[in-house]
Structure 1
Amino acid sequence: MRDSIHSSLTRWRLARRAVLGAIVVAGAVATSTAVIRTVALSECPGHAVERAYTYSGIGVVIERDGSDTVVVKQVLPGAPAEGILREGMRLVAVDGEAPPTVDAWAAAIRGAPGTSVELEVAFPCGGHKSYVIARDIVRMSY
């Protein structure tokens, strides 16, 4: 009888350890799942990738509008052209010349930091105005 009680007690202890172990494992799994969900749902700035490049110029994006007209599509924030040029302005000449292609316009507008570029702008109501803008390092994010 004593052996029977001892073996029953041993079996009970083993069963108790197994149940308590299962509870601990289940709790750990539930906790780690909650942590994983929280991390997955929250933004993680460590994984954000910023794509940007720098160049020397005045900070405008230009495009061809029609066959012979080049317009300012965008003025980048914080760029040298900000507050001088506006979106939609029609460019007539750069340093007294009218380059034949948009790429040639972009190359003529860019230059060494600290140098200046003169842009002639035509207004829809008629008239032209020249702006002299100092080139600087421009950071463009995309």
Structure 2
Amino acid sequence: MHIREIMTADPITITPEKTLREASELMRTADIGILPIGENDQLVGALTDRDIVVRGLALGHGPDTPVRDAMSTDVLYCFDDEEVSAVAENLGDQKLRRLPVVNRSKRLVGLVSLGDVALQEDTRAAGDTLREIVQDSRTAS
């Protein structure tokens, strides 16, 4: 099974010039924790609710700060034609719960989460992936 079959297609995105207030309002109304950042039809970053707090508020940035100042630019992603099992393994290896999905032209086409994998993939694989994420986060604390 390919990622394109289980991903959330056409995710809500935001541009780097928008403000943290606009981003957080989008997150609130859509009930999401991540926004892919797009510019010129390319994925240039991602902003999570955690980024807003850790890179935004904790550093003294206000709600009118541009998203660019708080977003992550080293964004890992997967391709829409990759096998779900390979992406599940990558999620565990990278300690991630979600990934932007791009096509081979690197245009953002979706978002996949560990939950999406758990609903479609062998539950043992999803459990193993989550175990890897949780175990490493506990030893890092």
With structure 1 as the length reference, what TM-score do the two structures score? 0.21
Higher percent of residues as strand: 1
Higher relative contact order (CA 8 A, sep 6+): 2
Higher CA-based Rg? 1
